């Protein structure tokens, strides 16, 4: 398999990567929005359960094919534990424990570097020098976007939350690779439903053990839950799985470099967080890096 990404037959499909970045970036905004109103694992359990219901209903109405045999279910469940369970649980827990959402976005923009390192040995993808250059430029841009935040709050960053967030990033990278290798040809709707089932099965005992089930049903909590299910779980995850299915994983993972920049813009619009000139420059650099990495 080469690292080139085939040109979409439908020009409208060229908009999919940008739409994915826009939707995915809202995840950190949701984590910050609901943190005062719900415990992280309790909130995510509600999200997983509702996501299974919505995606399962869509799959049933469409007559979509479910995984075949225990191997098919195993592959989808394990992808869900990595891509959804460990990743989302780690990010939401870290943000609720005081890790700035911006720093969380930066840490979780590392999958391009990690994926590029292992895509060749595990998937047989050749990561071209041009893609390596794009990955490096994207990393520089992501760092510039959040450099002021890291400098201001470096002394107050909780190390345990930072470590959990990095572990979540490793899970996201592993889940992307697993999905590409073992579950890239299955129906996206049923695969996503089974993935959230796996995430829920992993998270439920943790929520029962570590939390009290707090969810105050306020407007921010309900709005965050609705968007987390319909926007992120249905829209964002289906777009991610579709991109993994169609494209080389090194190119798909490079899109994550744009997430910190877009999240910073959203935080400015919603919470009044200002952007320094270096952050604006970092956004431009990240865009250039993603463009190079995506073209292969």
The yes-or-no verdict on residue 189 having pLDDT over 50 is: yes
Q: Poorest-confidence range of 37-46, 191-200, 242-251, 267-276? A: 242-251
In the chain, which ranges are E strands? none
Answer whether 77's CB lies under 8 Å from 135's CB.
Answer: no
What are the sequence ranges of the domains in the chain? 11-127+157-248
pLDDT band for position 34 (50/70/90)?
Answer: very high
What would the pLDDT profile of 148-178 be if each residue is shown by its tens digit? 666 554 445 677 888 899 899 899 888 888 8
| Number of Cβ within a 10 Å radius of residue 219 | 9
pLDDT attached to residue 4 = 44
Q: H helices within 63-128, ranges in order? A: 69-80, 87-96, 101-107, 111-123
Hey, is 38 helix, strand or coil?
A: strand
**Residue 157 burial (10 A CB sphere; 0-12, 13-18, 19+):** middle
Residue 256 has pLDDT above 80, yes or no: no
Quick: pLDDT tens for 42-51.
999 999 999 9
Q: What is the mean pLDDT of residues 249-278?
A: 75
Q: Residue 5 half-sphere exposure, CB side, CA atoms within 13 Å?
A: 24
Provide the total of helices (H) and of strands (E) in the chain, helices listed first: 14, 0
List for the chain the helix, strand, coil content (%; round to 5). 80, 0, 20
CB 42 within 8 A of CB 208: no
Residue 37: pLDDT band (50, 70, 90) is very high
Top pLDDT among 90 and 287 is at 90
55-59, 194-198, 275-279: least confidently modelled range: 275-279
Rounded average pLDDT over 271-290: 75
Provide the mean pLDDT of the chain. Answer: 81
* Close Cβ partners of 119 (under 8 Å, ≥ 6 residues apart): 3, 125, 127, 177, 248, 249, 250
Reduced to 3 states, what is the DSSP secondary structure of residue 183? coil
């Amino acid at each position: 398999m080469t690292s080139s990404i085939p040109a979409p037959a439908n020009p409208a499909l060229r908009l999919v990567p940008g739409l994915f970045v826009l939707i995915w970036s809202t995840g950190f905004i949701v984590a910050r929005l609901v943190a005062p109103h719900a415990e992280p694992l309790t909130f995510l359990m509600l999200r997983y359960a509702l996501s299974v219901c919505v995606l399962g209903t869509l799959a049933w109405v469409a007559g979509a094919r479910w995984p075949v045999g225990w191997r098919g279910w195993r592959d989808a469940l394990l992808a869900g534990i990595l891509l959804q369970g460990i990743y989302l649980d780690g990010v939401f827990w870290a943000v609720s424990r005081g890790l700035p959402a911006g720093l969380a976005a930066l840490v979780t923009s590392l999958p391009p570097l990690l994926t590029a390192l292992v895509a060749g040995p595990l998937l047989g993808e050749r990561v071209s020098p041009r893609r390596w250059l794009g990955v490096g430029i994207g990393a520089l841009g992501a760092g510039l976007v959040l450099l002021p935040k890291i400098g201001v709050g470096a002394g107050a960053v909780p190390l345990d939350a930072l470590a959990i967030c990095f572990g979540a990033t490793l899970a996201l990278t592993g889940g992307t690779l697993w999905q590409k290798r073992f579950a890239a040809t299955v129906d996206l709707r049923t695969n996503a439903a089974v993935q959230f089932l796996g995430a829920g099965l992993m998270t439920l005992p943790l929520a029962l053990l570590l939390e009290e089930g707090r969810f105050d049903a306020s407007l921010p909590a309900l709005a965050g839950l609705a968007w987390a299910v319909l926007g992120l779980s249905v829209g964002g995850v289906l777009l991610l799985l579709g991109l993994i299915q169609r494209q080389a994983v090194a190119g798909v993972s490079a899109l994550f470099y744009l997430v910190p920049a877009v999240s910073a813009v959203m935080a400015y619009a919603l919470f009044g967080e200002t952007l320094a000139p270096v952050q604006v420059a970092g956004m431009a650099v990240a865009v250039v890096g993603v463009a190079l990495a995506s073209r292969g």
